[in-house]
Amino acid sequence: MLKSKTFLKKTRAGGVVKIVREHYLRDDIGCGAPACAACDGAHAGPALETQPRDQASSLCPWPHYLLPDTNVLLHQIISAWKPGTRASVASRLRPPGSLETYIEQEQGENANDRNDRAIRVAAKWYNEHLKKLSAENQLQVILITNDKKNKEKAVEEGIPAFTCEEYVKSLTANPELVDRLACLSEESNEIESGKIIFSEHLPLSKLQQGIKSGSYLQGTFRASRENYLEATVWIHGDKEDEKEILLQGLKHLNRAIHEDIVAVELLPKSQWVAPSSVVLHDEGQNEDDVERDEERELMLKTAVSEKMLRPTGRVVGIIKRNWRPYCGMLSKSGIKESRRHLFTPADKRIPRIRIETRQASTLEGRRIIVAIDGWPRSSRYPNGHFVKNLGDVGEKETETEVLLLEHDVPHQPFSQAVLSFLPKMPWSITENDMKNREDLRHLCVCSVDPPGCTDIDDALHCRELSNGNLEVGVHIADVSHFIRPGNALDQESARRGTTVYLCEKRIDMVPELLSSNLCSLRSNVDRLAFSCIWEMNHNAEILKTRFTKSVINSKASLTYAEAQMRIDSAAMKDDITTSLRGLNKLAKILKKGRIEKGALTLSSPEVRFHMDSETHDPIDLQTKELRETNSMVEEFMLLANISVAKKIHEEFSEHALLRKHPAPPPSNYEILVKAAKSKNLEIKTDTAKSLADSLDRAECPDFPYLNTLLRILATRCMMQAVYFCSGMDNDFHHYGLASPIYTHFTSPIRRYADIIVHRLLAVAIGADSTYPELTDKHKLSDICKNLNFRHKMAQYAQRASVAFHTQLFFKSKGIVSEEAYILFVRKNAIVVLIPKYGLEGTVFFEEKDKPKPQLTYDDEIPSLRIEGTVFHVFDKVKVKITLDSSNLQHQKIRMALVEPQIPGINTPPEVSGMDLNGPGVKKRKLDK
């Protein structure tokens, strides 16, 4: 059954190398048509449909299979075939290794031509093969190719062949499919005005050469959210030579799109510019407004001091596109009957996309998904095609869907395969479960959580031992008992990485049965837990630490407020209350010790929506209250995390999953230091300790909110905390918590990292067996990468959700005037924070069709002078908040200045718009 084919000889530059390859041509590959008796059962995997359902195609009225060629497949695969499209796609080519369809490369034939020929041979084979199969229902294979020559040759050889467009247009049943066809650059070029805007991208080989020789740099393109003419390129490299290169102007951006991997060339120093602090949004409707862009570019290049100049470059080529389908809205073209429209993505970093559609009027006012097909040199915007209609703008479901899609949050319901790994209900603890497990059901354990929380993953207890010491236990839901490594459930939770909490909805990481029932440490039921138990003296010094898998029975699940009440009321003297008081006392000592070590207390405005229980519309906004019990729970969670981190690092020095928080570079603090200076305060930033101390000292008697503001600013200076694998890094320090080592152990229901840590710890104490991936540091570091990405995205999604609900809230509320503080000063705007709502927004001072006010911006003491009034950071102003629905795409919250009064600025009609930049909301659990 094997037939070997050996071909020899191949020369490479330098030496002569003999390459001997053999290829076994198979005779056991089935055609995939289930009705085929000739290749009975030889085909494994997905099969073709038995009987291609009637495809109403005017070109070929008989039943047929489609055989797209490689290029067509690549171009159209994103979206052309929506689920339920009735064409049966024979997308799986017969592997070229088959005996009957193998062809040898001919003299003078290049690889592409050979491929085309191979596909033609395959199509021919299929047709002949299927003819044998069934005489009565004539099946045919149709070759779909966009290559003219290939098509001609195919027709010559008697294979029915069409171009993709011809075929799709002939589908009378599904006319809207044409819109979804990826438009090809060839045809669009004809209509395009011949004017070339962009310089050519260099071919990959040249780029690689350039990168090797150092004349070009490779990096990730990051468009600016605030200015469509500006972007940065993050140069990959080792720690020392990581840097950012600034790109300014449409031509220098050269058709790169956010997240692309690009090659840039540095400009000579004389052309370097400073990042501008102008906020610019691309709003023109015309396609030939290139001149206006140039004008705007000039505006960016204002004189700045020498040291502000950043390395500036231009994009010379794209190494890898990172396009994905984008959500957004159609901006209908002004010309009636026009089929070409501009699409405005919801993400500001993505340029607008030109699409062709006949259903513009139905799509107007809807959220749609569009994919980019290409960006010709002569076009101001990239070309794309319509993919999917999500629903009406402003609908809560649509908007939630959009923000989940935009932030790449996996939110589909769990698949059957995943659910099959759940324990069968009714579930009870069996003999087998009790192996390696301690029975702690007699302990007086209780949980403290926000109200309405259903996924309780931690519980606490504290009791006095006979020797006078205290025993404190933190009990964490034993999720790793239910999620076994490697199965579909595990893979799905690893992919999701984290539970995402939106304002009205929770996107679970693990199926609900686990998250809200079997793993949730609810009161008065037996639950499996992973316990971390310390023996402490009354000064909260740890004498002994012990970890064990256990069974607990929580005596009460309290809210923070309830727990606080129990602690405060003198009348209560039951076990739970004494336990809570003991915990609270120890927590205070622990906190003090932590702060002495230099842990930072930062602040971010946290808000909570009160939801209408029926409509789920936000009725009221409330900033989060912090009680002693919040910090009590937090303190013990931190302690557990640190203890566990030490233990797993001890046991697995190479592959412990830890969490670090790098110290920010000093330059990050510039804003904070300058801002404090303007209030005559000094902030020291050399160590975390001095920062914490100076933040504590920074108080102004007549301005009590100043300290909070400074802490908010300090939070913005911080780096992101990240997961990492201990074998891949040597800096473990957690800056914010001032701990030399840290990990996440306490929330396995909502974070995948904790599940891995649980597994590591279980192996370390001999309670569970290990598995190969757990001790593979490269796999672990891949997991970390995904988790970091998911966490970031989850955070963004949460902010976006809060922003959307804030809009809904102000929609119902009408126009409000509120006090606000200036957080940042920009060149043409100020960013303000409204403490009452934890809302942050930008007040613009320039408008398109109005005379520009006199603006003077001072970078040294960040301040902006407008017509004689000077704005400093932290100044108190009064702003008017309204919801602006004039642009459906981005409903905006507009803020306009009310006080101080500046003539020409704050007289109605309103000042310009702003975009809701979600406040740094760090919301944990909330009601579902």
Partner 1 sequence: MAGLELLSDQGYRIDGRRAGELRKIQARMGVFAQADGSAYIEQGNTKALAVVYGPHEIRGSRSRALPDRALVNCQYSSATFSTGERKRRPHGDRKSCEMGLQLRQTFEAAILTQLHPRSQIDIYVQVLQADGGTYAACVNAATLAVMDAGIPMRDFVCACSAGFVDGTALADLSHVEEAAGGPQLALALLPASGQIALLEMDSRLHEDHLEQVLEAAAQAARDVHTLLDRVVRQHVQEATVLLGD
Cα angle for residues 841, 369, 89 (degrees, 5° grid): 160
Interface region with partner 1, contact rule CB under 8 A, candidates 24-32, 48-56, 392-400, 695-703 = 24-32
CB contact at 8 A, 126 and 94: yes
Our CB check for partner 1 shows the closer of 392 and 654 to be 654
735, with CB counted inside 10 A (0-12, 13-18, 19+), is: buried
Interface region with partner 1, contact rule CB under 8 A, candidates 15-23, 172-180, 702-710, 861-869 = 15-23
Q: How far is the CB of 7 from partner 1 (least distance, A)?
A: 11
Q: 3-state SS string over 444-509?
A: CEEEEECCCCCCCCEEEEEEECCCCCEEEEEEEECHHHCCCCCCHHHHHHHHHCECEECCCCEECC
Q: How far is the CB of 16 from partner 1 (least distance, A)?
A: 8
Q: How far is CA 235 from the centre of its chain?
A: 21
The length of the chain in residues reads: 928
Our CB check for partner 1 shows the closer of 20 and 335 to be 20
* Beta-carbon contacts of residue 310 (< 8 Å; ≥ 6 apart): 244, 245, 246, 272, 273, 274, 275
Our CB check for partner 1 shows the closer of 95 and 203 to be 95
When asked if residue 13 is in the footprint of partner 1 (CB under 8 A), the reply is no
When asked if residue 7 is in the footprint of partner 1 (CB under 8 A), the reply is no
One character per residue 44-73, x = contact with partner 1 (rule: CB under 8 A): xx----------------------------
Our CB check for partner 1 shows the closer of 2 and 626 to be 2
Interface region with partner 1, contact rule CB under 8 A, candidates 10-18, 129-137, 239-247, 807-815 = 10-18
When asked if residue 388 is in the footprint of partner 1 (CB under 8 A), the reply is no
Q: How far is the CB of 728 from partner 1 (least distance, A)?
A: 17
List the interface residues with partner 1, window 87-126 (CB under 8 A). Answer: 92, 95, 97
Q: Which amino acid is at 359?
A: Q
Q: How many residues of this chain bind partner 1 (CB under 8 A)?
A: 21
Strand, helix or coil for residue 16: strand
When asked if residue 6 is in the footprint of partner 1 (CB under 8 A), the reply is yes
Interface region with partner 1, contact rule CB under 8 A, candidates 18-26, 561-569, 656-664, 818-826 = 18-26
Q: How far is the CB of 774 from partner 1 (least distance, A)?
A: 10
The structure tokens 């930072």 sit at 600
When asked if residue 15 is in the footprint of partner 1 (CB under 8 A), the reply is yes
Q: Nearest to residue 563, comparing CAs of 699, 735, 446?
A: 446
Name residue 141's beta-bridge partners: 65
CB contact at 8 A, 649 and 740: no
When asked if residue 19 is in the footprint of partner 1 (CB under 8 A), the reply is yes
Our CB check for partner 1 shows the closer of 772 and 909 to be 772
When asked if residue 26 is in the footprint of partner 1 (CB under 8 A), the reply is yes
* Beta-carbon contacts of residue 301 (< 8 Å; ≥ 6 apart): 248, 273, 276
Q: Which amino acid is at 699?
A: E
List the interface residues with partner 1, window 753-782 (CB under 8 A). Answer: 771-772
Calpha distance 290→310 (Å, rounded): 25
Our CB check for partner 1 shows the closer of 23 and 716 to be 23
* Beta-carbon contacts of residue 336 (< 8 Å; ≥ 6 apart): none
Single residue of 7, 11, 13, 17 touching partner 1 by CB under 8 A: 17
When asked if residue 41 is in the footprint of partner 1 (CB under 8 A), the reply is no
When asked if residue 4 is in the footprint of partner 1 (CB under 8 A), the reply is yes
When asked if residue 25 is in the footprint of partner 1 (CB under 8 A), the reply is yes
Our CB check for partner 1 shows the closer of 28 and 650 to be 28
The structure tokens 């990050």 sit at 668
When asked if residue 427 is in the footprint of partner 1 (CB under 8 A), the reply is no
Strand, helix or coil for residue 793: helix
* Beta-carbon contacts of residue 846 (< 8 Å; ≥ 6 apart): 828, 829, 852, 853, 855, 912
Q: How far is the CB of 724 from partner 1 (least distance, A)?
A: 23
When asked if residue 214 is in the footprint of partner 1 (CB under 8 A), the reply is no
Tokens of 26: 């198979």
Interface region with partner 1, contact rule CB under 8 A, candidates 12-20, 69-77, 396-404, 825-833 = 12-20
CA dihedral 631, 632, 634, 637 (to 10 degrees): 170
When asked if residue 222 is in the footprint of partner 1 (CB under 8 A), the reply is no
Single residue of 11, 21, 887, 901 touching partner 1 by CB under 8 A: 21
When asked if residue 466 is in the footprint of partner 1 (CB under 8 A), the reply is no
CB contact at 8 A, 499 and 522: no
Calpha distance 668→113 (Å, rounded): 56
When asked if residue 904 is in the footprint of partner 1 (CB under 8 A), the reply is no
Interface region with partner 1, contact rule CB under 8 A, candidates 13-21, 55-63, 108-116, 433-441 = 13-21
Our CB check for partner 1 shows the closer of 42 and 266 to be 42
Binding site for partner 1 (CB under 8 A): 2, 4, 6, 15, 17-26, 44-45, 92, 95, 97, 771-772
